[in-house]
Chains A and B, each alone.
Chain A
Amino acid sequence: MRFSGSADYVSTEDLTLAVNAAITLQRPLLVKGEPGTGKTMLAVQVAKALGVPLLEWHIKSTTKAQQGLYEYDAVSRLRDSQLGDQRVHDIHNYIVKGMLWQAFSRDEPCVLLIDEVDKADIEFPNDLLRELDRMEFYVYETRELVQAKQRPIVFITSNNEKELPDAFLRRCFFHYIRFPDKETMEKIVAVHFPKLKKALLREAMEVFFEVREVPGLKKKPSTSELLDWLKLLLAEDISPEALRSNDRKTIIPPLHGALLKNEQDVHLFERLVFMTRAKGG
């Protein structure tokens, strides 16, 4: 199995290599990068390109490693025992399989996405070391050892909210998705808007990268904001010229919600637009 990019996802040379390293050596690939740089989308697209199923495990601050393996539903069992249900005698009825178990029990390889691992408790990655290394775990309640029939291709994303333990990192390959340069960004846009007019693209990209340059932004707009914004520009039928227009009103509304999500940032940006206009007009 080899990944070589996909029609819906622009993969750079180094990213493609990282994915293939993970596939070939059967080690998890940890992907970091600014928000909206396609970390989550990567796993989706790799699964699609390889034609294998995708299992997604989205991590929250309350997620525990054990939930990825299995959960023992003690409450249902207690209820059943009150109701005199016969199921109560077989503990298997109360073992709920987690994402890892589901991935391990597949006959064919699959892609397992562990999304936003940094959201969880700091112990979370440590609790999964053995499971990800050996691809097996023990179910104490039923005294069985679950082993992966096929090692899944594991993608782990992180937004850097917490650092990850060294022992965990040593077991992964690591790729940092750099914010796309203009050329790559144009390719990404082309994937999403194949019919976008060149002139509009050029102006929009110019504004977009200028906005990113504004010093002191709380949240720089990223790929997803650019895409949202373009969608709005198209929907409102904004002309390329309008992006340079002297009339502030024609610029600000579509930008407001889509590119900058924070009021302070909008304010900063308005000043920039004003300056650009003064310069260009």
Chain B
Amino acid sequence: MLIDFFLKLKSHKLPVSIKEYLTLLEAMGKGLIGPSVDEFYYLSRIALVKDEANFDKFDRAFSEFWQGVETIPGIEAQVPLEWLLKQVELTLSEEEKKQIQALGGWDKLMETLKQRLEEQKGRHQGGSKWIGTGGTSPFGAYGYNPEGIRIGQDKGRNRSAVKVWDQREYQNLDDSVELGTRNIKVALRRLRRFARDGAPEEFDLDTTINQTARKAYLDIHMRPERHNTVKVLMLMDIGGTMDDHVKLAEELFSAAKTEFKHLEFFYFHNCLYDFVWKDNRRRHAERTRTWDLLHKYGHDYKVIFVGDATMSPYEILQPGGSIEYFNEEPGAVWVKRVAEVYSKCVWLNPEPEEIWGYRQSIQVMKELMNGRMYPTTLAGLERAMRVLSK
């Protein structure tokens, strides 16, 4: 039944692996926790979830799984290990089986696990209440009683009415809501990898000396420079419905900041015009001329726009189209300028791609960007990063 828990986590899109699951089994086998759901909650989280952004997802899955669970009436069931392992095997998907093959095969894996459990039994007689024949096992209990014997806990222990996992304390750490944490991470990883590509070579002193000492003649060695070379300029739409998306994008890129040689953020509102600013609270006082931007940041910068490009087309195409002040030149001219100066330039649009076709302003903007507008989905980001790194 523990495998059901594991599968529940998977169905909630938590990136849990068999390896981690086996670690959890092992940990339970070592008697680290008593028969308490609270402790099981912590232990399973420690072993299975490696990113606090996923804690909330985990809490929800956990809550769903242990719905209404309080105690096990009479924890007596005895569960043979073989049976347990069989259960694990039965519920594996094809993909997981393949994964296991890659890890050295099911038998080998189980052999190791079994061995560990045997050792465990030998050393801690009756210590563990979780796995094996000596004690009791929540999954065993569950397996023997499908209508739901649950894990018990110390009845005497004081506990608050609301369970830890039901408090949803990690909700605000879950940034997967809009952009998808895992997704954008993968994409950023890609961006980082590109950050390394094509770096010039540098003199490798150690190898040179080593080889020179060995060969008795000067043998110079070079290696790729380690420094990141990618410079990124982010221009973001702020001050409207996009604020959350923009902030998220900003945070995500900030998280990768150290991977870039330079990372600069500037804001605009709705469309790019002749001014941008860095601090939204002082947007009227401290503005940067877009011309200066173009001059200051070399054409080797990669430019990423973030915005929904949703406005009246007039705001893009007409002088004075800005809703905030009279712009001499239409926004379209400015966007085009940027796209021309920076050959590596993309637009990330948090609006779902399906609706782009229905919004004229999005169409216009996409055209100005030479089609390089991508949704903030994994696929979209990957496409954007690929374009940026070409």
List the interface of chain A (C-beta within 8 A of B): 13-14, 17-18, 20-21, 24-25, 27, 30, 32, 61, 72, 74-75, 77-78, 81, 119, 121-122, 160-164, 166, 169-170, 172-176, 178
CB-contact partner of B15 in A14, A121, A166, under 8 A? A166
Is there a chain A Cβ closer than 8 Å to B348's Cβ? no
Bound CA span A27–B43, Å: 14
Do residues B213 and A78 form an inter-chain contact, with CB atoms below 8 A?
yes
The residue of chain A having its C-beta at the shortest distance from the C-beta of B49 within the complex is A174
Is there a chain A Cβ closer than 8 Å to B220's Cβ? no
Do residues A24 and B46 form an inter-chain contact, with CB atoms below 8 A?
no
Bound CA span A163–B184, Å: 11
How would residues 6 to 40 of chain B score, 1 for a CB under 8 Å from any chain A CB and 0 otherwise? Answer: 00000000010101100100110010110000110
Q: What is the minimal beta-carbon distance from B283 to any residue of chain A, in angstroms?
A: 15
10 A-B pairs, CB-CB below 8 angstroms? A21-B27, A25-B26, A25-B27, A74-B209, A77-B209, A122-B259, A161-B258, A163-B188, A169-B50, A176-B52
10 residue pairs, one from A and one from B, having the closest CB atoms: A169-B50, A176-B52, A74-B209, A14-B42, A174-B50, A74-B206, A18-B46, A173-B46, A78-B209, A17-B42
Instruction: Point out the residues of chain B lying under 8 angstroms from A173, CB to CB.
Output: 23, 46-47
A72 and B210 in contact (CB under 8 A), knowing A25-B30, A163-B255, A170-B17?
Answer: yes
Instruction: Point out the residues of chain A lying under 8 angstroms from B32, CB to CB.
Output: 17, 20-21, 24
Bound CA span A77–B52, Å: 47
How would residues 165 to 179 of chain B score, 1 for a CB under 8 Å from any chain A CB and 0 otherwise? Answer: 000011000000000
Instruction: Point out the residues of chain B lying under 8 angstroms from A25, CB to CB.
Output: 23, 26-27, 30
Bound CA span A122–B260, Å: 12
Is there a chain A Cβ closer than 8 Å to B302's Cβ? no
CB-contact partner of A121 in B19, B50, B185, B226, under 8 A? B226
By the criterion of a CB under 8 Å from any partner CB, how many residues of chain B are at the interface? 40
Bound CA span A32–B209, Å: 40
Q: What is the minimal beta-carbon distance from B358 to any residue of chain A, in angstroms?
A: 35
Instruction: Point out the residues of chain A lying under 8 angstroms from B26, CB to CB.
Output: 25
CB-contact partner of B43 in A17, A164, A169, under 8 A? A17
Do residues B23 and A27 form an inter-chain contact, with CB atoms below 8 A?
yes
A17 and B259 in contact (CB under 8 A), knowing A121-B226, A169-B51?
Answer: no
CB-contact partner of B259 in A20, A119, A162, A176, under 8 A? A162
How would residues 251 to 273 of chain B score, 1 for a CB under 8 Å from any chain A CB and 0 otherwise? Answer: 00001111100000000000000
The residue of chain B having its C-beta at the shortest distance from the C-beta of A14 within the complex is B42
Q: What is the minimal beta-carbon distance from A140 to any residue of chain B, in angstroms?
A: 11
Do residues B206 and A72 form an inter-chain contact, with CB atoms below 8 A?
yes
Q: What is the minimal beta-carbon distance from B214 to any residue of chain A, in angstroms?
A: 11
Bound CA span A196–B51, Å: 37
Is there a chain A Cβ closer than 8 Å to B231's Cβ? no
Do residues B213 and A21 form an inter-chain contact, with CB atoms below 8 A?
no
The residue of chain A having its C-beta at the shortest distance from the C-beta of B47 within the complex is A173
Q: What is the minimal beta-carbon distance from A63 to any residue of chain B, in angstroms?
A: 12
Do residues B46 and A174 form an inter-chain contact, with CB atoms below 8 A?
yes
